[in-house]
Structure 1
Amino acid sequence: MTQQPDATAQTSALLVDGPGGTLPPHATQEAKKTPTQEDHEREQGFWSRLGPGLITGAADDDPSGIATYTQAGAKFGYGLGWTLLLTYPLMVGIQLASARIGRTTGRGLTSAFAALWPRPVVAVAVMLLLIANVINLAADLGAMAEVTRLAIGGPEALYALAFGVVSLGLQAWLPYHRYVRVLKWLTLSLLAYVGVAMVAHVDWKAALAGALLPRVEWNADTVKMIVAILGTTISPYLFFWQAAQEVEEIERVAKDQPLRKAPRQAPAQLRRLHFDTWLGMGFSNAIAFFMILAAAATLHADGKLDIESTAQAAEALRPVAGDAAFVLFALGILGTGLLALPVLAGSAAYACAEFLKVRRGLEKPVGAAPAFYAILAAAMVCGMGISLVGIDPMKALVWAAVINSLMAVPIMVGVMLAAGSRRLMGDLALPLGWRVLGWAATAAMAAASAAFVFTSLAS
């Protein structure tokens, strides 16, 4: 008698099949794959072991993050440095859950959600992500354009359009295996903010006290800023991006397969994934901490507590910290913006394309995945359009972080349920310790969002 496949096997098959229904024959037998020289280099070199985790962490410090951390340091001095110590393990928990889904199933978060929940529920999650990403794109483009105008003059609208077009062109015409190298090198632009802190004469004793012995005056302004910090460090687009990039890595590296199909790869791949994510999120939070320190040492110490634009933040640094700080701040905005734009547009495109069940992937040429690139272009064009309306970039950036935090909670619940599902993940379901950390991040975001809503209604 023929044995019928159980639900777990059917779900596994659904998740490891390609967008067209099945993987091509050469991708179904690991033994038939021949590792390339690039594979060996990736396994041996420190820099080559870093990828989705590092890029995701660095993209977290986009102009939206820079605006939020600058405002936090300017208004509250060193007092909110503790938030970065809190968010570090929480970021790692939720990002590891997302990355593990991608590496284990060979599909992104949208497909994982679709395997567990009704299609309308998945549609709402994708729509929330798309809304948040477009707002974030607009705010980042506006900030980049404003800083460029401040540095060299000229029309902001033209710069916003130029940055959007350049980023879109790179995503469309550079295959993933080349484009990912560009993104990895762009992460180094974040070191500019370490430079800003170094020339800003930081009071390190006060900075340490702010990180380890926080004294917080709980009012509407403080709650809004803490929510903004959480929203810009734990953002939905990061979950979708890191999961999608793990899938891209599976397709890029000849011998790699989804871990449910090749469980013997799990120990090495999970070690790499943990190393990459811990280091990437640590890098992200360390840079954010330096941003707060720089703003506290310069703007707050000089009595400039209310920073209303990225241009004002950059210009205010010049008299109190010198031209070097101004230049580093401006370069950091541009570098991190160029890193964040493809992550924002790309994560939206991956999520929507998976929901629509069309071919997708930055490794594919435009002609092979036209719907995917059309979604990516639409997100970027919408962001460019909103950036031209004339909304204050700094306010838009902080509000983008707040919107991210409010929208993150339902998506985080979905990630944690999917990562812990044995039906979806098999024996590689997220272990208890990591589930506790991921759910703690979800609870912290929910509490902060509820506090923000309460204080906003009460004020």
Structure 2
Amino acid sequence: MGKSATAQPGTSSPNGAIRRFLRTLGPGFITGASDDDPSGIGTYSQAGAQLGFGIGWTMLVAYPLMSAIQEICARLGRTTGHGIAGNLCRHYPAWLLYSIVALLFTANTINIGADLSAMADALKLLIGGPSTLYVIAFGSACAVAIVFIEYDRYVAVLKWMTISLFAYVATLFAIELPWSEAVAGIFLPEIIWSAEFFTTVVAIFGTTISPYLFFWQASQEVEDDRVDDRREPLVQAPRQAPAAIRRIRADTLIGMAFSNVVALAIILTTAATLNKAGITDIESSAQAAEALRPIAGDFAFALFAMGIVGTGLLAVPVLAGAAAYAIGEACKWPVGLSRKPRHAKAFYTTLVLACILGMGILFTPINPIKALYWSAVINGVVAVPVMAIMMLMTARTSVMGEFTVRGWLRWLGWTATAAMAASVLGMVIAWFG
């Protein structure tokens, strides 16, 4: 008689290990995946096409820096029970709070418009049809889904949407890649003193270490506290801290690794195809997909274009949600996707307004293709003051209690802030030098 297939107490089954792993994936994983939005895809595509494999090192540098910053954001939310704007509201002057929130809302709205435009252009490349109609359809679908789908189900939808990012890993293996050049580009930094180079570096860091990701992950940790009766802010329940910090670290490291692997795949794909073919003037993700077709074939083109649509459906709700959390917390409104719309009317109105304003960019003189790239540059500039304030805030016992950010994590957070500031400064000097 064979052994029973039922796992005995004290043993673990493969399915149980998978379920535990999936439970670990939360705000950090969704945040990392949404980082590779159509704006980011356009930025990485332009970087690979313009600078070739020599820009691959930025992903290696960005990983520990973005992981540190995102973990600090998550710990701020989990420790205090408030998002970034909520903590600013309680501990800093109103002028600073409203300045940061206004910058964030502006950057997010431009980003939403750029992402919707890229999604529409990608779908038009795949099936034809009117881009304007697709922009309105995508924007409306994202707004309706985030308002009316229950929180638990919506988080599950976002997790499943991350699968679309594997399209870029698949694209990488659908082309011929000179691995020796690719590896050299990752591990041997190549720096060119020019305005174009530093602007591209700022755009890469701006789309990789982006303010909307800070606000979203911190607020989602607060949201999860709200929906789980067993969880309390760590300042009120110190006994929960060891397990919470371990979960946050694992979630964030996995999410940021996933984000950077996808970003690196896009850079290497466009470096191996477009750059090698002498196509260096790429301004959008859809343009990169179209340029790939004659060089890498229809399969690579289709994968790349479908990935733009999938990542946009993931990123637009995160961008709109981050803006709504920031404004709602600043104004001390009831906030949260777990609340019914009738219990958080101003919060949901702000969320929908961000989507509408993003759609509205299509009907203004703003060039959505240019906006796609420059939204990443704007994010890079906005990130510097937000990161500096956040580092100061998480060092204060009046904010974090006994769970202030210390040691290597604090040094890495300040290193990320300094690296972002140096990139912005280098861009400005190169512009005017």
Q: Could you tell me which residue of structure 1 aligns to residue 86 of structure 2?
A: 111
Work out the CA distance in 1 between the residues paired with 2:372 and 2:61: 22
Match of 2:280 among 298, 305, 313: 305
**CA offset at residue 393 of structure 1?**
3.5
**1:384-403, Cα deviation, whole Å (9 max, x unpaired):** 00133364433211100000
Q: Does residue 177 of the first structure (1) align with residue 152 of the second (2)?
A: yes
Q: Please, what TM-score do these two structures have when normalized by structure 2?
A: 0.94
Q: Residue in 1 aligned with 2:24?
A: 49
Deviation at 1:42, TM superposition (A): 11
Aligned to 2:13: none
> For the residues of structure 1 that align with 2:63 and 2:159, how far apart are their CA atoms?
20
1:224 aligns with 2:199: yes
Alignment of 1:51-450 (within 5 A): 51-389=26-364, 391-450=366-425
Residue segments in structure 1 that go unaligned for 5+ positions in a row: 1-40
Q: Output one character per residue of 1:248-293: Cα deviation in whole Å (capped at 9) or x when no partner.
A: 1111222111111111011001100000001101110111000001
**Alpha carbons 1:42, 1:49 under 8 Å: kept:** no
Q: Which residue of 1 aligns with 2:11?
A: none
Structure 2: distance between partners of 1:312 and 1:213: 29
Q: Secondary structure at the match of 1:428?
A: coil
Structure 2 CA distance for aligned equivalents of residues 338 and 101 of structure 1: 27
Mapped to 1, the partners of 2:270 and 2:366 lie a distance apart of 23
Q: Give, in angstroms, the shift of residue 44 of structure 1.
A: 5.7
Deviation at 1:225, TM superposition (A): 0.6
Contact 1:56 1:238 in 2 (8 A): yes
The letter for the 2-side match of 1:308 is E
The aligned counterpart of 1:14 is none
Task: Quote the Cα distance in structure 2 between the aligned partners of 1:43 and 1:118.
Answer: 46
Residue of structure 2 equivalent to 1:23: none
Question: So what's the TM-score if we normalise by structure 1?
Answer: 0.89
Task: Judge conservation of contact 1:309–1:392 (CA < 8 Å) in 2.
Answer: no
Secondary structure class of the residue paired with 2:53 = coil
1:419: how far off?
1.2
Q: Deviations over 1:26-71 (max 9, x none)?
A: xxxxxxxxxxxxxxx9996211210100000011100011000000
Alignment check: 8 A CA contact 2:52 2:272 kept:
yes
> Is the 2:118–2:308 contact (alpha carbons within 8 Å) kept by the matching residues of 1?
yes
* Paired AA for residue 238 in structure 2: P
> Counterparts of 2:363 and 2:131 in 1: how far apart (Å)?
8
Q: CA deviation at 1:154?
A: 1.3
Pairwise CA RMSD? 1.4
Correspondence for 2:431 = 456
> What SS class does the counterpart of residue 306 from structure 1 fall into?
coil
**Secondary structure at the counterpart of residue 91 of structure 2:** coil
- Give distance in 2, aligned partners of 1:65 and 1:315: 17
Displacement after TM superposition at 1:424 (Å)? 0.7
Instruction: Tell me the distance in 1 between the aligned counterparts of 2:291 and 2:328.
Output: 43
Per-residue CA deviations over 1:395-441 (Å, capped at 9, x if unaligned) read 21110000001111111111111111111101111122111111111
Amino acid at match of 1:262: A
- Where 1:79 maps in the other structure, the secondary structure is helix
State the one-letter code of the partner of 2:392. L
Counterpart AA for 2:162: T
- CA drift of 1:375 comes to 0.6
Please, which runs of 5 or more residues in structure 2 have no aligned partner?
1-15
Residue 320 of structure 1 aligns to a residue whose secondary structure is helix
Q: Which residue of 1 aligns with 2:4?
A: none
Q: 1:391 to 1:156 in 2, by over 3 A?
A: farther
Distance in structure 2 (CA, Å) of the matches to 1:78 and 1:424: 43
- 1:217, CA displacement in angstroms? 2.0
Structure 2 CA distance for aligned equivalents of residues 331 and 250 of structure 1: 35
Cα separation, 1, equivalents of 2:197 and 2:95: 36
Contact between 1:310 and 1:393, CA under 8 Å: does it hold in 2? no
**Structure 1 pair 408–268 and aligned structure 2 pair: CA distance change class (3 A):** same
CA distance in 2, matches of 1:289, 1:388: 33
Equivalenced residue count is 418
Q: In the aligned structure 1, how far is the partner of 2:19 from the partner of 2:288?
A: 42
* Inter-partner Cα distance in structure 1 for 2:189 and 2:235: 44
Rounded Cα–Cα distance in structure 2 between residues aligned with 1:285 and 1:449: 21
Aligned-pair identity in percent equals 52
Per-residue Cα deviation, 1:168-195 (whole angstroms, up to 9, x for no partner): 0001101211100000111111110001
Report how far residue 119 of structure 1 moved. 1.3
In 1, Cα distance between equivalents of 2:350 and 2:367: 26
Q: Give the whole-Å Cα distance in 2 for the aligned partners of 1:309 and 1:447.
A: 26
State how far apart, in whole Å, the 1-side matches of 2:25 and 2:215 are.
18
Query: What whole-Å deviation, never above 9, does each CA across 1:320-363 have from its counterpart, x for those lacking one?
Result: 11111111111110011000001100000001001111111101
Runs of 4+ in structure 1 over 4 Å off: 41-44
Pair 398,108 (structure 1): closer, same or farther in 2 beyond 3 Å: same
**Structure 1 counterpart of 2:403, one-letter code:** L
